[in-house]
Amino acid sequence: MLQLPLEGVTVVAIEQAVAAPFCTRQLADMGARVIKVERPGPGDFARDYDHVAEGQSSHFVWLNRSKESIALDLKSAAGREALGRLIETADVFVQNLAPGAAERLGVDAATLRAERPELIHVSISGYGPGGPYSAKRAYDLLVQCEAGLLSVTGTPQEMVKAGFSAADVAAGMYAYSNVLAAIIRRDRQGVGATIEISMLEALVEWMGFPMYFAHYAGAAPARTGAEHPAIAPYGPFRAGDGARVFLGIQNDREWVRFAADVLQRPELGADPLFATNPARVSNKAQLNVEIESVFARLDADEIIARLEAAGIANARLRTMDEVVSHPQLQARDRWREVGSPGGPLIALRPPASLDGPEAPMADIPAVGQHTEAILAELGLAAPESAVQNRTE
């Protein structure tokens, strides 16, 4: 009988905010036991970013299902002893503490892997060790700035940040994929790994297209709002009912088909102003007038029906509420319900559908919810403060 891929793997994480919790939640979805070390009382500070999800933070409920929470005062001797005993049980240790904090606690890679070479040790930081930025504090928006994302995102008049934690998610995904690679290497070669992930480097990797374009063209791609800076037509167009329909033409053959079957103006397909993509980009303003003059006579459903019949890629502009009720996600049974201290919450199944058992999708823990049980496994008594924290 198939098991979840990471069943039997224990992950201990001193984690906070987004990047490391995003990594470890993926590991939990794959069946790993993830033990999250939090400070007694408030716990991970992301718990208080907002309180909109049944009294809990939207960031926290997204990132921390299927984990166990142990509350330890790492400034105390008892807390540090418990952490040391806990790490001895770990296959993987993940931390995204402030620069220098892991060394002060004695949980840096050099210290832990000297004792246990087979350990997979993961450190996520803003800018990586070494270099002039190694001690610089890093938050997602700030790293988006340093990686150049804001310089190419927005309108000609104003730059904007990504609408989600792009640098954190990039770093978390590279941490996750490298942990999987390290587990395979350890199984084959018997050695652990030291993995260092920089938010800056992870996001710069994702910025490959604008980086290469700017470096070799001598100018960055223009900020074009929701339109594509180098392909046309590619972006939003207003329908007669006021809705926006997004579409993308990828080559000149599609343009000819779009002109004939969607716009029902086949002469535009061969018009020198629009016949090639560079021409369409250069004449984008006039191109958009031609398209919207036709779309103004149609509602969004009619436009999408024509686009679908012509085999032209398209999309509706949906709100986040509409995404939750998206017909494709509903048809594919992608939603589950998970428990939390505030009550049941919706949760999207992991995007990768692996054959075998379904991802556990277990509850989101309260701060220190599992402290007593985990310490008992380690042969340690829970400090009074931890017991009080769990029962308050």
Q: Are residues 85 and 151 in the same domain?
A: yes
pLDDT at position 386 is: 44
Q: Are residues 295 and 342 in the same domain?
A: no
Q: Are residues 374 and 261 in the same domain?
A: no
Specify if 224 maps to a domain.
no
| End position of a domain, from candidates 291, 317, 343 | 317
Burial class (CB in 10 A: 0-12, 13-18, 19+), 260: middle
Specify if 313 maps to a domain.
yes
Specify if 132 maps to a domain.
yes
Q: Please tell me the distance from the alpha carbon of residue 156 to that of residue 159, in angstroms, as a whole number.
A: 8
pLDDT at position 383 is: 63
CATH number, domain at 280? 3.30.1540.10
pLDDT at position 381 is: 82
CATH number, domain at 154? 3.40.50.10540
Q: Are residues 153 and 280 in the same domain?
A: no
- What averages of pLDDT result for each successive group of 10 residues across the chain (392 residues)? 94 97 98 97 95 95 97 95 96 96 96 97 96 93 96 93 95 98 97 97 95 92 88 95 94 97 96 97 96 96 97 93 95 96 95 90 96 95 54 41
Q: Are residues 265 and 330 in the same domain?
A: no
Q: Are residues 238 and 387 in the same domain?
A: no
Q: Are residues 191 and 62 in the same domain?
A: yes
| End position of a domain, from candidates 287, 317, 347 | 317
Specify if 366 maps to a domain.
yes
Q: Please tell me the distance from the alpha carbon of residue 278 to that of residue 106, in angstroms, as a whole number.
A: 57
pLDDT at position 392 is: 43
pLDDT at position 376 is: 95
Is-catalytic flag, 121? Answer: no
pTM: 0.90
Q: Are residues 92 and 192 in the same domain?
A: yes
- Which tokens in the block code for residue 234? 């590619």
Identify the CA nearest to 43 among candidates 81, 84, 73. Answer: 73
| End position of a domain, from candidates 273, 296, 317 | 317
Give the number of C-alpha atoms closer than 13 A to the C-alpha of residue 349, restricted to the C-beta side: 14
Catalytic residue among 51, 59, 215, 228: 228
Helices (H) then strands (E): counts for the chain: 17, 11
313: helix, coil or strand?
A: strand
191: helix, coil or strand?
A: coil
Sequence-ordered list of residues with C-beta below 8 angstroms from that of 315, at least 6 positions apart, any chain: 245, 246, 247
Q: What DSSP state is assigned to residue 159?
A: B
Domain that holds residue 249: 234-317
Q: List the 244-248 sheet strands across, edge first.
A: 234-238, 244-248, 313-316
Q: What DSSP state is assigned to residue 261?
A: I
Q: Are residues 101 and 190 in the same domain?
A: yes
pLDDT at position 384 is: 56
Q: Are residues 57 and 175 in the same domain?
A: yes
Please give the tally of structural domains in the chain: 2
Contact 171, 197 (CB under 8 A): yes
Q: Are residues 26 and 89 in the same domain?
A: yes
Identify the CA nearest to 29 among candidates 339, 353, 328. Answer: 353
